[in-house]
Structure 1
């Protein structure tokens, strides 16, 4: 998650970096068992091939190999480190060299509006009916009546604090408590400007006015006495907490899982009154690539519960097909339940990332806040 290209990508909330996407093989036996389940793709396309532009972990052998064995479609992944790289290459290269891309939800509408991706034939995607309602036809993949992507991995941005650090904490406002002076770490990303915006009551953090941006900047500056570090990776946040250097901050479910797994069960995922930011990756078909028979074979496979259960074990993420949860081992089910990534009510309350038209202004404000002296 440390890759600076992704963290500094051209879209708001340019999502978590490549290190976070490296395969996390939690239970090889479970992967093998799930992979042996019935494969949803019926046809085989001998000597076909598929070119993917995606994140590390999204073309892992654990689920690519059974796909290739069943369909005959060879998968050729090219990995990127930022949404801007993915969008730029998809628009410039087109289906001549790329069949599918997997951008985050703050970039999908950019591709749709540019005409770089094509609407999906949902009659070829029967597993979509098994998706959580929040992902069946999300706004970031829809134009008119058409759906332009198959939702895949997702996650939320969390506010987490050591138990008892701020008694009764139920709001992002807890991070501003004087008791946390010099004891929190904040993500070095626009998501932390959104955090400050929610603190001052902004409802649409992705379309702020100048006045709202100014208020958010002042709130972030007011938080600086509590900030010991602007973190750039899950590992950095995890190490700070494990060493006692911080009592919490804003973070990700992968960091929480790692910290809990290392025996620090006292870090609490705060259920804030304000909405959480959320990312969602989706598979999208580059314009013209729908004619490749391997394209819909891949979309059918990666949208299935079987495939997504394998992917969850590989990457550590939650996935969009609700039935995938039932195929996981008990320990993983317990973890995802604790993280509330399988709760439809919570999914509907997430403030999912969107493109920010004035991103340069947002970055200017965020950088001013970081450079300002603590009050």
Structure 2
């Protein structure tokens, strides 16, 4: 899925022409390290942006492997296709809150890191992430990632704000907008100091609900797409809330004085990974692809398409100067800035969380 154009269970980012120009225009052409020669076919069950021609064609030319993508719109679709065998895929790209579900089901083969040498250049958070590790084995290669940003208008909110608390400040009555998603439950749980974000007890969920209902006088709108959030911020209708990288980039490009609040309570984050469907380990195109998409040059091409973060620490150096400056401003090339990320995990009681979120939205202000 290209988050810039499609709504899914995980994201609703929507790039405008201005934002795409600011984030992607003029990306440098880079020399890609040639993967090992191979011939054959590689079937990807994948978000659309990850199989863009600008990424796939160089790989096909260098290896002789033909890449055939099967596009999906949600993690649930990936799980359904892999579990049923209907997708007949070699590689898939699920998010970190879905990956271990597939590993536990026995449908994913472990990765041999020695066959993906470019992983040595990954930022520490992405070399052996917990969402891909089981019994000492690695079950995927991290790829595109992003954070749920907390943003604020620095002309109206103190520029040194470092806490989620400003979202509840009565001074901002009717001037806050947050995501219409259970991630907002996670956010409130972090603010309340609950460490088990993705496995909250009934008592904790009630506390989260009460805290979010307390926020309602401040809510101008629960946004569904980041395009909505960008419009609210640029028009001065709201002074802050939650969003994604594209909103920040668009607002910065428009000259808005908007800050990326690095909340001390933590921020949510997702990471997609390439995973080998069991039975595809011997496909001679699998490891050449995994190595190719792990190189800084290939990840720079991917960033040009998606705008997401990528794990190779050398990727930023492959971007043109303007794009690299924005990437670094977002903290995506600095592993230290990612130290306080509450990476998404499976939520066993997702139905209960959704019930609580719906009760929050239905509650009177």
The separation in 2 between residues aligned to 1:2 and 1:41, in whole angstroms, is 29
Give ranges in structure 1 of 5+ residues lacking alignment: 8-14
Corresponding residue of 1:11: none
1:343-358 superposed matches below 5 A: 343-358=334-349
> Could you tell me which of 276, 289, 308 is aligned with 1:285?
276
Give ranges in structure 2 of 5+ residues lacking alignment: none
Corresponding residue of 1:100: 91
Number of residue pairs matched by the alignment: 360
Query: Structure 2 vs 1, CA of residues 27 and 283 (structure 1 numbering), >3 Å: closer, same or farther?
Result: same
Alignment check: 8 A CA contact 2:16 2:227 kept: no
1:232-247 superposed matches below 5 A: 232-247=224-239
2:130 matches 1:139 = yes
2:127 matches 1:127 = no
Alignment check: 8 A CA contact 1:305 1:324 kept: yes
**Cα offset, 1:3, TM superposition:** 8.4
Corresponding residue of 1:322: 313
Corresponding residue of 1:224: 216
The separation in 1 between residues aligned to 2:302 and 2:6, in whole angstroms, is 25
After superposition, the C-alpha distances for 1:28-62 in whole angstroms (9 at most, x for unaligned) are 6535x21xx142302131xx111111112101111
Corresponding residue of 1:159: 150
RMSD: 2.1
The separation in 1 between residues aligned to 2:232 and 2:16, in whole angstroms, is 21
Corresponding residue of 2:8: 6
Corresponding residue of 1:273: 264
Higher helix share: 1
The separation in 1 between residues aligned to 2:74 and 2:27, in whole angstroms, is 31
Corresponding residue of 1:76: 68
After superposition, the C-alpha distances for 1:334-353 in whole angstroms (9 at most, x for unaligned) are 11221111111122321100
Alignment check: 8 A CA contact 2:177 2:240 kept: yes
After superposition, the C-alpha distances for 1:313-340 in whole angstroms (9 at most, x for unaligned) are 1211110011111111111221122111
| Partner-residue secondary structure (3-state), 2:109 | coil
**Cα offset, 1:367, TM superposition:** 0.8
| Partner-residue secondary structure (3-state), 1:368 | helix
**Cα offset, 1:24, TM superposition:** 4.6
Query: Structure 2 vs 1, CA of residues 28 and 6 (structure 1 numbering), >3 Å: closer, same or farther?
Result: closer
TM-score by length of 2: 0.93
After superposition, the C-alpha distances for 1:199-242 in whole angstroms (9 at most, x for unaligned) are 22212211111111110000000101111111111111111111
